């Protein structure tokens, strides 16, 4: 993303890129909670971007453009294209190791959503929303203005 990470948020970025592969209750893990916020943030910025093009697209066209991107498959493809999988660490019973899990699709989507959540509130970043939209345009998921 061409961003400078503020040391104040480094632990949050670390959590966003951590996958827990153990018996912790689902929904209680920090990365999952970040993904919950990030999913809503990503869908909002994509919808807002398309809405700002209201003269160019009908409601049906906006939905058609949004749908493949805001689903897990869309976030997974974006995560793969930016090499996010290489940054994810798996924790199993408090031991960290390289991610070798079989369900990379869900993990990549969740990690990208969690990363977006941290980007959304990292006060040291200059307009993270625009950086994400520019990425989606560059990768061909959204049309240019």
Which residue's structure tokens are 């912790």?
24
Residue 73 appears among annotated catalytic residues: no
Choice among 73, 86, 113, 130 that is catalytic: 113
- Asked if residue 69 lies in contact with residue 81, where contact means CB atoms within 8 angstroms, the answer is no
CA distances from 119 to 2, 60, 100, 125, 128 (A): 12, 29, 26, 7, 6
Helix pair 128-138, 30-51: axis angle to 10 deg = 70
Residue 71 appears among annotated catalytic residues: no
Choice among 2, 11, 22, 39 that is catalytic: 39
Q: Which residues are catalytic?
A: 39, 113
């Amino acid at each position: 993303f061409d961003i400078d990470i503020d040391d104040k948020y480094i632990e949050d970025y670390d959590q966003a890129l951590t996958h827990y592969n153990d018996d912790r209750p689902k929904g209680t893990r920090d990365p999952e909670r970040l993904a919950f916020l990030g999913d809503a943030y990503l869908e909002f910025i994509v919808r807002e971007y398309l809405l700002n093009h209201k003269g160019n697209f009908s409601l049906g066209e906006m939905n058609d453009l949004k749908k493949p991107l805001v689903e897990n498959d869309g976030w997974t493809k974006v995560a793969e294209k930016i090499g996010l999988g290489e940054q994810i660490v798996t924790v199993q019973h408090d031991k960290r190791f390289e991610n070798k899990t079989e369900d990379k699709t869900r993990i990549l989507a969740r990690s990208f959503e969690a990363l977006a959540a941290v980007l959304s509130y990292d006060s040291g970043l200059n307009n993270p929303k625009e950086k994400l939209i520019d990425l989606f345009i560059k990768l061909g998921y959204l049309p240019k203005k």
